[in-house]
Structure formats: structure tokens, C-alpha cells
Structure 1
Amino acid sequence: MKHLNSLLAIAILFLAVGVANAQDENNPWAFEVGVNAVDVFPAGTEDGRLPLRIMQGGENLQVRGDYFEEFYNVNDHWNILPSVSKIAIGRYIGSGFTFNAVGTINRIDQLGDAQVDDLSYYAADGEIKYSFRDLINGPGGWFDPSLGIGGGYTWVDDIGFGTANGLASLRIWLAENIAVNLQTTYKHSFEDSYGIRHFQHSAGVVFKFGGKDTDGDGIYDQDDECPETPGLPEFNGCPDTDGDGIEDRNDACPQTPGTAEFNGCPDTDGDGIADPQDECPTVAGVAALNGCPDADGDGITDAEDECPNEAGPAANNGCPWPDSDGDGVLDKDDQCPDVAGTVANNGCPEVTVEVINQLNEYSKTILFDYDKASIRQESYEALQNIADIMKEYPNTTFHIEGHTDSRGSDSYNMKLSKERAASVMNYLTTIGIPANRLTSEGYGEERPVATNNTAAGRQQNRRVEISLKKDQ
């Protein structure tokens, strides 16, 4: 009884440890506490006698029965100690194999059909078992049959002998870490003189324990890909902080729910650009502008576009270039933006023959003081008309020509023609024509337009003409 009490105390201790460390099927350790029964009758012998000599009144005890005969005859053959009589500790090896160390006690009062005085029974055994649980049910099934082999040493009173064991067991899992275990073990003695073949049956409760769950997420470290951070089973123990179905390790925005398309980041404005890359995350835009809108499609974001609804170049802040005079030449390229012209003349009007003729009709009326370069006052109106026409062609350079008749010396006529042409040019600058748009030259009597033999011809030769300045 002393031994029984010690074993019971150990069983209670292991039971407490097992409950306190209840784990799932991946836990490597298991503890079993239960009862056992010893039966020698169905073990069979060739001569029907027990090879173990236990003197009971000087007689050798008889045994009847062949192998497995009356295997379930509990009342006549089984020796059962009505107390905790089995403890076992097991360690998972891998690939379905488990090693168990088993200790059992019993009291023998039946050897076959013979009654004997109470004999003490102690056994220490090692077992290697293979579980068919995963093959039959898949991982986590409740039905867990096993086959195994082992060996041990048994004492009946003061006689000890070694055994080779074969066993079959059935565990029924009531929870992830608790099972009922039913087991039958055949123990074959190696000593003919002292050993005894027998069956040992047991029933017990198994507790699995020993798994480590550092982060406390219910997924043990050996299966937890993030053992130090609480996570979810569907991500093998790794977290999904924002709950978007994308684990943090693969989530570019682990604190903000997003979609797999954008690696876990959101696209608030639905423009197909993830918020971290979207410079305008709340307003739908285009990829070319980093997610910002471009209503007029001119390649300039609306925020920077002074004309967001009208396409224009960046050089003009997103607004189209104006064509103030409507001549088809944009103001930026138009040398005469306020006067309609031609494309060929950079937006400025082109001087026609008719215009030159009109200028010269006015220039014919310009009068000078006799034998001088000073302009007579009655010519001012004609000069104003000339200036007004010139202003219509702001990019044109006009050439003022002075001419004389043949009277007088050539040198004098040349000098007078130059002075009169210069006088006209200077006057025009005083009434608004830029000096850089005017040139003057005198030609004396070199370019007559009529005969100098008559007074009328000489009058035509004394003249001022206006022409276009030709490129040198």
C-alpha cells in the first residue's frame, strides 16, 4: 500500500501539470493515469503449465486455455487493483511515432483458473507506438488507434524477468488535449524457469502538454511563423493588424485596411493608385500625375493649372496661349499681337504694293522751303497720314529716299537730297515712328522719273519717295 500511495501522489501531480499545460495535438508530451488488469489464461503454454514456479503448497499451478481463449473473462481470470495502478509519460518522436515509459502495479490472486495468495506485481516498460490517427481521420481526428512494440521488466513478488511486448491501443480524443486510452499488451517472458507470459490490459486518461506559445495566440511556436507576435491561425500565427485579410508581413500598410491589389494599402479615391503613392489620395486622378486630377488633360494637375477646364501648356500655367488679333498666330509667336497679320510675316501685316503707292501719294505733297531741307507747315498733314499707315505695320522698316532735278551741281544736289530725306525721317520719329524702323538716303539727280528738259519733268524729279528697306 505504501507503493500505491506514492504512485497515486505522483499521478495527481502529473494530472495537475497536464491540466495546467493543456495543449493541442502538436504538443510533444503526454501523461496517462489509469488502471490495469493482468491475465495469464489466454497467453497459452505448450504443456498447459505456468513456467513460473510459485510454490503454493508444493504444487505447480495449472493454466488452461490457448492463445486468446476466454480473452474477455474478467471475473475468472483478470487481476485488477481497484485504484490508480498505471502511470505513463510519453514523448512524440515524429512521423506518428511516440515513445512511452510506463509504470504499473497490481495484486495477483488468480493465475489461470487457480487461486493464489496475493502476490505483488510491478512492471516497468518502454513502448514505441505508431498512431494511425492522421491516416484515418486526418490531423485532429478523434479516433486514434495505434500499434506498438516494446520491452520491460516485471516483478512478481521477489521474482523478476524481462519481457518483449507487443501492444494495440485505441485513444478516443475528447478534446484537443484529453483522451481516453484503452490498451492491451502481450508480454512474452524470456525466462522459461521464472518468466510468465501474460496479457496486461489498461484503461486511462491521457493529457497532452509541453507545447510552447510565446505570444499566447493559441498557436504553438513550432507551428507559429511569428512566435513572438500574436497572430491568426489562417496566417500561421502571424498578425493582420488592420484586419484586411493580408498579413502584416505582406502588408505595405499594416495599420490601414486595404486590398491585395495594392499590397494591403487602400485606394481611397478609387483611381487605381494606392494612397501611399497618390499625391491626391482623396480625389481621383491619373497615374502620370501621381494620382492627382487633370480635368482638361493637358498634363498639368488641376491644383497647378490656372485654367483647369481648358487645356494649355505648362509654360503658360496650363492656360492656352491667346491670339489677341485672331490672325492664327499665337501671341507668344506674334510679333504684332494686337494687329492681324500673316503666319509668313510672324503675325504682322504685310506691306503691299497698294500700301506703298498710298504712302507715295502722300509723300508727293511734301513741300520744302526753297533750296532748303526744312519742311513747310502745309506738309504736316500728309506726314501724319504717312505715320498712321506706318503704325499699322509695326515690324516693317521703311526707307525714305530724297531726289532732285538736274539743275545745280551733282554734289550740291546729292547733299540737298540727303538732307531732305533725313528731315522727313526725323519728323516722322517726332510723331511716333521708332527711329529703328526708318532709314534715309539721298540720291541727288541720279534717279529721275521724268525729263529734266521741261519744268513739269523737273518738278516730278524733285521728290521724296518711301519704299521698304531691303535686307543688305
Structure 2
Amino acid sequence: MKHLSKIVLALCLVFGFTSVQAQDADNPWAIGIGVNAVDFYPTGEDAPLGDMFDDYFNAGDHWNVLPAVSKLSVSRYIGAGFVGELTGTLNQIDSYGDRSVSDLSYYAADLSFDYSLRALLNDGWFDPVIGLGGGYTWIGEQEGEDISNLDAVSLNGKLGLNFWFSDNLALSLESKYKNFFDVETATHFQHSAGIKFVFGGTDTDGDGIYDKDDECPEQPGLEEFNGCPDTDGDGIEDRQDACPEEAGLAEFDGCPDSDGDGVADPDDDCPEVAGLAEMNGCPDTDGDGVRDSEDECPDEAGPAENDGCPWPDTDGDGILDKDDDCPEEAGPAASNGCPEPTAEVISELNEYSKTVLFDFNKATIRTESEDALQSIVDIMNEYPQTIFHIEGHTDSIGSEAYNEKLSRERAASVENWLSEHGVPANRLTSEGYGETRPIATNSTDAGRQENRRVEISLDKDREMKDNSEEEEMN
């Protein structure tokens, strides 16, 4: 008996520190230990016994109690509040009703099916139990007494109360009525009190949290997250963590911001370098709106169309290469950055133009003038952005209207010849001025000869007009 007490004490220590739940589907097993009392008196049978429930609580006169652990039980949850329980008890009978006997041995094994009302009471600490079952009881023989060997099967009914101190530990009180049909005088009550330990809960993922309380029963997790995991240990459970494999911040739904620029790494095209939100987390050092990784000049502001670099002005003429038709040669804006003919070049053109001859009183160019005109073409093509103006002039002989008409037609003839031989028509203009712009006296043949001429100049008015129209369009 002393050894049995030690075993029970060890069980108390083990189960007392084990995290288990009240007996249910997730915690199906329970072990009970305690003491029992056998009372033959208040069963309503023949004398020397009393009527049913007579002196039911008279423990001093009628109860047989063994002063040691005398009851062990093992129970298994079946479902829907039902529990199957196997109980073994031993005792020593000194009182048989109102009679004294000499230390009869008492052994019993009972199987019952119990129903717990705890679920109906909101799973609180108070747990009423009713049960029905059967058992086998043996009471030892005593010579000279009416009591002989009792070896019989009983039909049992019981009422019990469990008082749950915690999720795994309860005080258990029970009263069981054992009815023996063959030996009516052996019918008795058996009362017991003890401790019940619940264990064996289902923990599918082995995280120490039983499935009934585990919101992630298939994944090992943490108690603070009701059994759900926090893989990266950032304090944000995986179910709410947009980056469950990387420790991050709550403000970014659990994702990291490695460069600290306020853009979470999954949304950051440059997660290792601090940048701007409008650049998806990439830097723009020169602030030109082109991210550094795509900016060929990250320290100099420049437009995206030039890969983030400022437009160059290779020839230094003040016109950016992108707007400069001659980026390798300096020239004025009027000619789109291309060089213009110098005074010497214009003088050379006019030396050739002086030799251009026409048929008498006609605008037809004479054949011997073609070499001079070809030289003019060659010079003009050296300045592809320059617009040249062809001027026609006459002397004062004849009417003013006739002279104006003839000079205009001769200037147009030169313009047409030049455009037909390599100078784009949009780079040529012509006009006739008649006798209005003499360069010598019309009183002599030599003077009139000088006044009958074709001159070439730069068409400044045309250039200014084109630039003005372009500015209006922009």
C-alpha cells in the first residue's frame, strides 16, 4: 500500500504540470485517483439494513473507508459529451449495515458510460455527471458469519460532480449505486472522492497547442498567435505577413525596408539603395526625373530623352546639339546652328552672278553662263541651312513696269536653274526690283551695264519669318 501511494504521488506531479484540457474530443483521456467508501445500510433491503437512503450520510456508523488511495480510474471520451470509464477499487469492510464484521476484503472493477453536462453549462468549472454501467465485485469470506464469498456482477448507476480547478485538473465526487440481483443483501452504495487528470489532447502539428485551440492545426506555431506560425520572427503571424520569410515591419504588412527609404522591399526597385517613392524606391541624385540606374549623367540634370544627361553643344555656338543641324560647326540660330556664308563668300557668289547673261530683252539664260551658275550651286551647297535670295535688276531704259517685270523673270530663271541643278527649292527665293536699286549712273553705257545684273544675298527676312512661325506653333 505504501508503494501505491508513492506511485499516485508521482502521477500527481507529472499530470499536475502537464498542459492538458478538460476531457473532450481533443483531450480524450483521463486518469482518476482517490478514496472510496462502501455503505451497505441505506439500500432498502432486509434487516439488518435500513430503508432506501436511510442514514445516507451517516459516515461514522456505516461507511467503510480505507485510509489510503483506494480508487484508480481510466476514462476515454467517446463523443457528444459521453465518456467511457473503467474503475478499480479496493476496500476493507468493517461494517455490514448496522453490524460489525472482521476486515472483509473488497475488490471491484466497474465499467460505466457517463454523460457530462458541462458543455450544457458553457464549459465552466462546474461539471455534473450521470452514468450507467455494470461491474464485478468480490467480497472475501468470513467464517461464522452469514456473509460468505461474494462473487457477482452488478448493475450500477451513478451521480457525480467534477469541479475543474484548471483546464486539466478537477476534484471529482461520486456516488454509485450497485445492485446485485442474485445476492440482494450485497447491494450497496459506493462513494468516492479524488482527483482527475485530463491528457492526450490532439496536437497534429506538435506545437504544444491542442487542435481545438489551434487556429493553424497543420502548422507548428506560437501560443501568442493561437498556434499559427511567425516564420521570420518579426512579431507578425504568417497569415497577416506579406513577406513571411523575411523579418519586416507592421507598417509594411511584415515586409522589410532594407534601405530605410519608406518603400517596402517588394515594391522597391532598388531595395539596397535609399530612393524616392515616385521612383519606386530608386534614387535620382540630380533630381532630373531620371532614376540613377537609367541616368547616364546621374550627377547632372538632364532630360529623359537624352538619357538623363544635359544636351551638349559640341560646336559651342549656343545651340544644343539636339537643335543644331550642324552640331560640329558653329553657326547662328537663324541657320539652325549651321555656319552662314561670310561676306567674302557672298562677294564670290556675286562675282559669278555678274557673268550670268540673258538673251536680249528676255529672261532666257545664255548657255555660256552655265559654268558660272554651277559654281554658284557648289558654293551654296556648302551652306545647307542658308536661304539665298536671288535679286534681279535693270537699268532705267524702258518703262518702270517693263523693267520690274523683266528683272523679276530673270531672277526667277536663275532660281529655277539653281534648284534644277542641286540647290533645294526651299533654300531659294527670288524677286525683281527693276530700275529701283541702281549701283551706278544710268547716264552712261558703262553705268547702265553695271545696273543690269543679278545679285545673290542672304534671305534674312525669310529666315526671320520661318522662326517666327515656328515659335507661334510651339
2:469 is aligned to: none
2:174 is aligned to: 183
Does residue 151 of the first structure (1) align with residue 136 of the second (2)? no
2:49 is aligned to: 63
- Correspondence list, 1:16-415, <5 A: 20=14, 22-25=18-21, 26-43=26-43, 45=44, 49-50=45-46, 61-67=47-53, 69-133=54-118, 138=123, 143-153=125-135, 154-156=137-139, 157-173=149-165, 176-189=167-180, 191=181, 194=184, 196-211=186-201, 217-220=207-210, 224=214, 230-248=220-238, 251-269=241-259, 271-286=261-276, 289-294=279-284, 298-306=288-296, 308=298, 312-321=302-311, 331-335=321-325, 338-341=330-333, 383-384=344-345, 386=347, 400=353, 402-404=355-357, 414-415=366-367
SS at structure 2 position matched to 1:64: coil
Contact 2:209 2:227 in 1 (8 A): yes
Task: State how far apart, in whole Å, the 1-side matches of 2:384 and 2:300 are.
Answer: 41
1:110 maps to amino acid: S
Question: Cα distance, 1:207 vs. partner?
Answer: 3.0
Contact 1:401 1:465 in 2 (8 A): yes
1:418 is aligned to: 370
Does residue 459 of the first structure (1) align with residue 449 of the second (2)? yes
2:42 maps to amino acid: P
Task: State how far apart, in whole Å, the 1-side matches of 2:200 and 2:376 are.
Answer: 117
SS at structure 2 position matched to 1:234: helix
Question: Cα distance, 1:84 vs. partner?
Answer: 3.0
Contact 2:164 2:171 in 1 (8 A): yes
Task: State how far apart, in whole Å, the 1-side matches of 2:156 and 2:262 are.
Answer: 72
1:58 is aligned to: none
Task: State how far apart, in whole Å, the 1-side matches of 2:251 and 2:385 are.
Answer: 68
1:376 is aligned to: none
Question: Cα distance, 1:202 vs. partner?
Answer: 0.9
Contact 1:89 1:102 in 2 (8 A): yes
SS at structure 1 position matched to 2:366: helix
Contact 1:169 1:182 in 2 (8 A): yes
Question: Cα distance, 1:100 vs. partner?
Answer: 1.0
2:445 maps to amino acid: A
1:362 is aligned to: none
Deviations along 1:212-239, whole A, 9 cap, x unmatched? 6577643246655667865311334343
Contact 2:62 2:98 in 1 (8 A): yes
Question: Cα distance, 1:468 vs. partner?
Answer: 6.9
Give 5+ residue unaligned stretches, structure 2. 140-148, 395-405, 411-433, 436-440, 463-474
1:30 maps to amino acid: A
Contact 2:113 2:132 in 1 (8 A): yes
Deviations along 1:284-331, whole A, 9 cap, x unmatched? 434564321336665421343355577543231213546899999864
Contact 2:388 2:457 in 1 (8 A): no
Give 5+ residue unaligned stretches, structure 1. 51-60, 352-358, 360-380, 391-398
SS at structure 1 position matched to 2:224: helix
Contact 2:358 2:366 in 1 (8 A): no
1:99 maps to amino acid: G
Question: Cα distance, 1:88 vs. partner?
Answer: 0.8
CA-based RMSD of the aligned residues comes to 5.0
1:152 maps to amino acid: G
SS at structure 2 position matched to 1:319: coil
Task: State how far apart, in whole Å, the 1-side matches of 2:384 and 2:10 are.
Answer: 114
Contact 1:271 1:284 in 2 (8 A): yes
Deviations along 1:433-456, whole A, 9 cap, x unmatched? 459979999x9x986867999614
Task: State how far apart, in whole Å, the 2-side matches of 1:423 and 1:30 are.
Answer: 119
Q: 1:405 to 1:202 in 2, by over 3 A?
A: closer
Q: 1:134 to 1:402 in 2, by over 3 A?
A: farther
Deviations along 1:377-405, whole A, 9 cap, x unmatched? xxxx9745647x99xxxxxxxx9574448
Task: State how far apart, in whole Å, the 1-side matches of 2:375 and 2:138 are.
Answer: 149
Task: State how far apart, in whole Å, the 1-side matches of 2:445 and 2:368 are.
Answer: 19
SS at structure 1 position matched to 2:333: coil
Q: 1:385 to 1:467 in 2, by over 3 A?
A: closer
Output the TM-score relative to the length of structure 1.
0.65
Output the TM-score relative to the length of structure 2.
0.65
Task: State how far apart, in whole Å, the 2-side matches of 1:23 and 1:423 are.
Answer: 110
SS at structure 2 position matched to 1:332: helix
2:36 maps to amino acid: N
Contact 1:259 1:265 in 2 (8 A): yes
Q: 1:130 to 1:457 in 2, by over 3 A?
A: same
Moved more, 271-280 or 29-38: 271-280
Q: 1:386 to 1:17 in 2, by over 3 A?
A: farther
2:159 maps to amino acid: L
